[in-house]
Amino acid sequence: MIQVEQTNIENYLSAFKIFEQAESSTSSNWMINLRRNAIAQFENSGFPTARRGNEEWKYTDVSPIAKGSFKILHNKSHNANQLPDTKYQQLEGSACHNLVFVDGFLDENLTNISSLPKEVLVCNLSDAVSIEPTFTQRHLAKYADFLHHPFTALNTAFMAQGAFIWVPPNISIDKPLQVLFISSSSNSNLITNPRILALTGENSKFTLIENHSAVNENSYLANVVSEIVLGTNSNVQYYRIQQESKKAFHISTTHVELGKGSRFFSMNLDLGGEIVRNNLNVVTEGEDSSCSVNGIYITTASQHIDNKVVINHNSSYTTSRELYKGILSGKSKAIFHGSIVVREGLRQIDALQIDKNLLLSDQAQANTKPAFWIYSDDVKCGHGAASGQIDRNAIFYLTSRGISESDARNLLVKGFVQEVIESIPNKFYKDKMDNMVNASLLDVLGI
């Protein structure tokens, strides 16, 4: 049950009118209708702020977002030259094809996609609507459900710029494609609605990095929707790095559809944000498909990070693996809500879900809800969850071997998340992620 929050809905409705006008010259009819449907949906539902009976948002109160008055930027305002060296370069700009958005708008200077194979189409979403109108219309907003998810509805209503990616059959992209969303504005209280639509053809292969970072430690709302569709036997690796400002609100929905025989690997790293909620929905549409979804969250101070992962097994002979681990300190709060759904009448489903939390402070809080909804009998589904502090015996073991207590502690903390980093199939990214986790631990814990 979603209660209608009246406070600031009006602001979004009036902003929508201005937005629609500004976009009218470049939008086709179907796009206008799509946005209108979405805003109507949002107007109807409001933000999911109800505390009673609101299972979907049980542990995450979004009323700070609902009460905030976030402004939509209608024109590009930043100056690329003023952008300082931001954290995004940690993933080595030169090692990737880069598509860069600053405050929601494509930045041509920072973007560098010229060396992509010529068959591949990567462009601004607003251009894709005119370059590939029927193709875009067929896929855009067809996967991420905005009828039941207010934040997705809000994004869909205001979607304009974003990443459009089409990897045709039998093409494999050597370097990863990084889509960078940077918040640079010195004005606080902006809302951006970044969007990604990525599709792959048969037997194709590529790596997508979705990176969210900020220049200033401002308060703003990033409301992201990504739709990723894997064609038959294609292979996608997806890295999601969230290093927003520590005062930012970050709500994201990633919807992944797996075609027959496809393979999907994801790694979600949450470091920033004040209130963060990531929805990851994976649907195995084709038989023989498999996914491995992984995550690390490192929280401190008053951060609140909520990961909801839903794996929908919709076809036979499909496999899913989930491994999420969190390190919590300060007064932070982390939530992991995993759901495995197995539809009726399927054969040979194999699913495993694990979430573990390490609590480093007395005020930190970890809530876990690993659920199964299983309607077929030919399944092997397991889940494990654990929560605890650093093992005193392990500390003793290490100190008895001459390692200082603080080193022992650091070793154990790092060792705890190492299992997730080890799941990364590619050495290059494994090292990159390792560095980022180390940097964050140093930053957060002084380790």
Interface ranges with other proteins (CB under 8 A): 53, 55, 344-345, 357, 359-389
Q: How far apart are CA 289 and CA 436, in angstroms?
A: 30
Query: Which lies closer to other proteins via its Cβ, residue 173 or residue 298?
Result: 298
Query: Which lies closer to other proteins via its Cβ, residue 162 or residue 370?
Result: 370
CB 335 within 8 A of CB 276: no
The CB-of-244 to other proteins minimum distance in angstroms stands at 25
Q: How far apart are CA 99 and CA 118, in angstroms?
A: 16
Query: Which lies closer to other proteins via its Cβ, residue 74 or residue 383?
Result: 383
Count CB-CB contacts under 10 A for residue 58: 15
CB 276 within 8 A of CB 306: yes
Query: Which lies closer to other proteins via its Cβ, residue 375 or residue 396?
Result: 375
φ, ψ for residue 291, nearest 5 deg: -140, 150
The CB-of-412 to other proteins minimum distance in angstroms stands at 14
DSSP structure string for 103-136: TTEE-TTT-B-TTS-TT-EEEEHHHHHHHSHHHH
The SS3 call for residue 151 is helix
Query: Which lies closer to other proteins via its Cβ, residue 163 or residue 305?
Result: 305
For the chain, the straight-line distance linking the first and the last C-alpha, in angstroms and rounded, comes to 43
The SS3 call for residue 277 is strand
The CB-of-410 to other proteins minimum distance in angstroms stands at 17
β-bridge mates for residue 205, sequence order: 172, 235
Q: How far apart are CA 275 and CA 47, in angstroms?
A: 14
CB 378 within 8 A of CB 346: yes
Query: Which lies closer to other proteins via its Cβ, residue 235 or residue 329?
Result: 329
The CB-of-206 to other proteins minimum distance in angstroms stands at 34
Torsion of CA 375, 381, 386, 391, to 10 degrees: 170
The CB-of-65 to other proteins minimum distance in angstroms stands at 23
Query: Which lies closer to other proteins via its Cβ, residue 22 or residue 374?
Result: 374
The CB-of-349 to other proteins minimum distance in angstroms stands at 10
State CA 219 to chain mean position distance. 19
Q: How far apart are CA 259 and CA 385, in angstroms?
A: 30
Report which secondary-structure segment, H or E, holds 11.
helix 9-23
Query: Which lies closer to other proteins via its Cβ, residue 204 or residue 332?
Result: 332
Query: Which lies closer to other proteins via its Cβ, residue 108 or residue 377?
Result: 377
Q: How far apart are CA 111 and CA 99, in angstroms?
A: 5
φ, ψ for residue 120, nearest 5 deg: -80, 135
Short-list 427, 310, 321, CA closest to 383: 321
